[in-house]
Amino acid sequence: MAGPSTDAYGAAGSGVALGRRPGWLDKERIIAAPGFNRWLVPPAALAVHLCIGMAYGFSVFWLPLSKALAASGSGAQACGKDMSFFAEMFATGCDWRIATLGWMYTLFFVILGCSAALWGGWLERVGPRKAGVVSAVCWCGGMAVSALGIQLHQFWLMLLGSGVIGGVGLGLGYISPVSTLIKWFPDRRGMATGMAIMGFGGGALIGSPLAVALMKHFATATDVGVAPTFLAMALIYFVFMMGGALGYRVPPSGWQPAGWTPPVNAGTNAMITRRHVHVKKVWGIPQFWLVWLVLCMNVSAAIGVIGISSPMLQEVFGGGLIEVPKKFGELDKAQLAAIAAVAGGFTALLSLFNIGGRFFWASLSDRLGRRMTYSIFFILGGLLYFSIPSAAGAGSKLLFVGAFCIILSMYGGGFATVPAYLADLFGTQMVGAIHGRLLTAWATAGILGPVVVNYMREYQLGLGIPREQVYNQTMYILVGMLAVGLVANLLVRPVADKYFMSDAELAHEKQLAHEKAAVAESGPAAVRHDGAASAGSTVVLAWLAVGLPLAWGVWKTLQSAAQFFH
């Protein structure tokens, strides 16, 4: 009787133990069968990204948490300004300062970039389902640990829970669908990644109003309701993220959409390769560092502005936001509250452009090319930043706000376009892992951008410059950042042949990723099909599951944005 196949690409060589069926988390279990509709994959990715995208909305917890002990009736005061950050991490007798709580926001994106870089290669080999499940456990488990930290009033538990453990979940969840979507949509790489990464930008649109509603529900006379809100959101997010992770499918090796012909390396497609680079080589490839610099400069220029968008609008226009001819420092408490509400609408408006830009610009890059799209980001963005001081000096709220809305659309578009840029340059075999390493640029920008904007503001105020003018020099510095990014982008050229994997190396990598086994298991008929045989009702239900919460979040944000126009 014949024993198990010894073929390096058969079941025995695929990493599955002899005589054992693949587990439900193994990559072999999620190879799409003939007739699978590829449009079922984007909503699975959105289900994950809409949950982890709440990282952008954590600021809704800062104010309640800064008053947690005082609200309990204990008579506790805020931790003193002379208390060190380390001491505040373990303090139980004073309320945390908002500035201290804000460090969790920085930690999110530092850990996101590091974890994506560390485990991107592992993700490519085990597949998106296992990575998605680990992401769900880390992100939601981290929120549960944070709830314990809130209950015990131990900030270090919050940093460990949502910051470190949750940050790992952010990194794995963020990159889990990238490679899969690019392989399912080789004809629309930008659009496919734009749909998923749009969800990360939209996570706060759903999570922030949900968190506010839950805190209001759980709040009592002695409890601000944040701890039970964390637990409730962890449970809700776990259900959605597991649904998304279990919904992932990967195409069989060699699959292509029906009727689609891969582009040849000529004309406008000269930047698109059909070969593949191994992730272990990218640190030594000039193009990787050029794209790293492109992303870092694009993000740095905008992310600092995002953090101060509300106070910036208030300080620049002051009473002009409510038709009162007074500067910011001349307003009374009622007027300050009124302009704060208007500024909140401005922030909501920016978030909508951030989300819409992710899909719009990434989809447009399929037509224009990635390098051209980024060139538009840097040139148009530079002109807009340069125009902002003039718009502010002229008192034109329309030009000021319009400029920042377009800038934020390009900020989101940069995130959504870069995975396709990497796939064009380095191939699709390990694009998820390469994308993970590139996200260290985001971690860097998350520190660089806010530091430049905040410290320049403080420096200008220290010189006695009026509040409405303190951002002018900052805008010119951001123009310089975009100029650096533009030069780096224009220097990008096709990757040299010496960096690509040989046929033998590619075959070995496919063995580790179980791709040959995928074809054998799915059958020859699965190699090329368009998935049209899947039930249309299943696709509709999948999109409704993510579309309805997103539509609710957009509606709530539009209601907030309407305050700006009033």
Q: Band the pLDDT of 263: cuts 50, 70, 90.
A: low
Q: Band the pLDDT of 326: cuts 50, 70, 90.
A: confident
pLDDT of 375: 97
- B/e letters for 526-555, b = 16+ CB within 10 Å, e = fewer, are beebebeebeeeebeebbebbeebbeebbe
- B/e letters for 166-181, b = 16+ CB within 10 Å, e = fewer, are bbbbbbbbbbbbbbbb
Transcribe 359-421 into DSSP letters. Answer: HHHHHHHHHH-HHHHHHHHHHHHHHHHHHHHHHHHTT-HHHHHHHHHHHHHHHHHHHHHHHHH
- Per-residue pLDDT tens over the stretch 111-128: 998 999 999 989 988 999
Distance CA(436)–CA(121), nearest Å, equals 8
Q: Is 95 helix (H, G, I), strand (E, B) or coil?
A: strand
Which region among 243-247, 298-302, 466-470, 478-482 has the lowest average model confidence (pLDDT)? 466-470
Rounded CA Rg of the chain = 25
Residue 529 has pLDDT above 50, yes or no: no
User: In CATH terms, are 45-78+89-257+530-560 and 266-495 the same topology?
Assistant: yes
Closest to 101 measured CA to CA, from 42, 37, 150: 150
Distances (CA, A) of 539 to 32, 133, 139, 320, 355: 15, 22, 27, 49, 23
> Which residue, chain included where needed, has tokens 């409730």?
232
For the record, the structure tokens of 159 come out as: 């940093």
Q: Are 434 and 288 in contact (CB under 8 A)?
A: yes
pLDDT of 309: 77
For the record, the structure tokens of 41 come out as: 């994959």
**Biggest alpha carbon–alpha carbon distance for the chain:** 93
The residue length of the chain stands at: 566
Distance CA(361)–CA(417), nearest Å, equals 7
pLDDT of 244: 95
Write the DSSP symbol of residue 256.
-
92's CB contacts (< 8 A; 6+ apart) are: 152, 153, 154
Q: What is the dihedral of CA 228, 131, 351, 366, to 10 degrees?
A: -170
pLDDT of 270: 61
Each domain of the chain, given as residue ranges in start order, spans 45-78+89-257+530-560, 266-495
pLDDT of 22: 66
Distances (CA, A) of 469 to 311, 335, 359, 392, 548: 13, 21, 34, 8, 42
- In the chain, the N- to C-terminal Cα span, in Å, equals 81
Residue 363 has pLDDT above 60, yes or no: yes
pLDDT of 555: 93
> Which residue, chain included where needed, has tokens 């706060």?
204
A 10 A CB-CB count for 377 gives 28
Residue 203 has pLDDT above 70, yes or no: yes
Write the DSSP symbol of residue 73.
T
Q: Percent of the chain at pLDDT above 70?
A: 90
Distance CA(206)–CA(557), nearest Å, equals 9
Closest to 227 measured CA to CA, from 72, 445, 45: 72
Transcribe 104-167 into DSSP letters. Answer: HHHHHHHHHHHHHHHHHHHHHHH-HHHHHHHHHHHHHHHHHHHHHHHHHT-HHHHIIIIIIIHH
- Per-residue pLDDT tens over the stretch 280-294: 999 999 999 999 999
> Which residue, chain included where needed, has tokens 């999109």?
543
CATH of domain 45-78+89-257+530-560: 1.20.1250.20
Backbone angles phi, psi at 331, to 5 degrees: -85, 150
Q: Which residue has the higher pLDDT, 1 or 129?
A: 129
pLDDT of 85: 86
Which region among 235-239, 447-451, 513-517 has the lowest average model confidence (pLDDT)? 513-517
Q: Percent of the chain at pLDDT above 90?
A: 47
Q: What's the pTM? A: 0.85
Distance CA(142)–CA(467), nearest Å, equals 40
Query: Which CATH code of 1.20.1250.20, 1.10.150.20, 3.90.76.10, 3.40.120.10 fits the domain covering 266-495?
Result: 1.20.1250.20
Query: What mean pLDDT, rounded, does the chain reach?
Result: 85
For the record, the structure tokens of 289 come out as: 């560092």
Amino acid at 352: L
Q: Are 452 and 233 in contact (CB under 8 A)?
A: no
Distance CA(408)–CA(352), nearest Å, equals 9
pLDDT of 102: 81
Residue 402 has pLDDT above 70, yes or no: yes
Strand partners, 250: 31
Query: Can you tell me the mean pLDDT for 402-417?
Result: 94
Query: Can you tell me the mean pLDDT for 169-178?
Result: 93
- Per-residue pLDDT tens over the stretch 372-391: 999 999 999 999 999 999 98
pLDDT of 405: 93
Q: Which residue has the higher pLDDT, 485 or 313?
A: 485
> Which residue, chain included where needed, has tokens 């198990």?
4
Helices 103-126 and 440-462 cross at an angle (nearest 10°) of 170
Query: Can you tell me the mean pLDDT for 156-177?
Result: 94
Query: Can you tell me the mean pLDDT for 462-466?
Result: 83
Query: Can you tell me the mean pLDDT for 167-196?
Result: 91
- Per-residue pLDDT tens over the stretch 342-351: 887 888 888 8
Q: Band the pLDDT of 341: cuts 50, 70, 90.
A: confident
Distance CA(144)–CA(234), nearest Å, equals 7
Closest to 314 measured CA to CA, from 262, 392, 243, 238: 392
Backbone angles phi, psi at 529, to 5 degrees: -160, 165
- Per-residue pLDDT tens over the stretch 74-124: 777 888 888 888 888 898 889 898 878 888 887 888 899 899 999 998 998
